[in-house]
A = this chain, B = another copy of it.
Amino acid sequence: MSESSAKNSTTLATKITESIRTAIVSGDIAPGAKLSEAQLAMQFNSSRGPVREAIRRLEVERLVRHVPHEGARVITLERNEIVAIYQVRESLEGMAASLAAQHMSDEDIVALRQLWEQHRAHQHQTGEYMQADGDFDFHYRIIQGSRNPYLIRQLCDDLYQLLRMFRYRSSRFISRSAVALTEHEHIVYAIEQRDSQLAELVMRRHISRAARDIAQAMQTEETKL
């Protein structure tokens, strides 16, 4: 487990929170793993206080499940929970796309198009899957474009944490980068046209298909065991 990524925030508790969060999301701390206060405190050269604060925060963020007097464990995402999350994501991010088509500045739309061009070029050259990071970047920009602060927080701070955590583990399945690239283009197009209805629909389908692929992959994964 790497506690390297500790940004120099103002307070120790914040740094520890971020370190543990990235460790969970990146899979360095496995789902279901126990978070021992004493152990973590030792690891970060601190006392248990700041570690406790970090765990409490991550508990509210739903990355950690805590039961009194027993301790905290990293959550494990079951199949039905993944499905539930994707269902919400479809609704929320569809709305984000719709709002983005209405509210994004012309410059931001140009930048979005350029980002997509980069992704295409990258895929053309390397023939590689789209990087998860690139995909997230694309979606983040559209969410930001919604200009709805509450929606932005819900998606970026909350839902996407869970998504990242899950994606890291299951990146082996996801080989739909070619399809995704095409779908992204359609989204960019709809936003360029300022067609909020189309943007919403295309985004919803994009996410819906991803969800279907993942659910299917998990299904076969489960039957294999």
> Can you list 30 pairs linking A and B with CB atoms under 8 Å apart?
A9-B68, A10-B68, A10-B69, A11-B69, A49-B49, A53-B56, A56-B56, A56-B57, A57-B57, A57-B60, A60-B60, A60-B61, A80-B149, A81-B149, A81-B150, A84-B150, A85-B150, A87-B99, A87-B148, A87-B150, A88-B92, A88-B95, A88-B148, A88-B151, A91-B91, A91-B92, A91-B94, A91-B95, A154-B154, A154-B158
Q: In chain A between 36 and 79, which residues have their CB closer than 8 angstroms to a CB of chain B? A: 49, 52-53, 56-57, 59-62, 68-69
Is A153's beta carbon under 8 Å from chain B? yes
A14 within 8 A of B: yes
Chain A residues with CB under 8 Å of chain B are: 9-11, 14, 49, 52-53, 56-57, 59-62, 68-69, 80-81, 84-85, 87-88, 91-92, 94-95, 99, 148-151, 153-154, 158
Kindly list chain B residues whose C-beta atoms are within 8 Å of the C-beta of A9.
Answer: 68
Most chain B CB inside 10 Å of its own CB: which residue of A9, A80, A91: A91
Cα separation A53 to B87 with both chains bound (whole Å): 32
Shortest distance from the beta carbon of A86 to any chain B beta carbon, whole Å: 9
A183 to B212, CA, bound (A): 34
Contact A150 B69 (CB under 8 A): no
From the candidates B68, B80, B149, name the one contacting A84 in the complex (CB within 8 A).
Answer: B149
List the 5 closest A-B pairs by CB distance, nearest first: A60-B60, A84-B150, A10-B68, A84-B148, A91-B95
Contact B69 A153 (CB under 8 A): no
Provide the residues of chain B in CB contact with A11, threshold 8 Å. 68-69
Which chain B residue shows the least CB distance to A9? B68
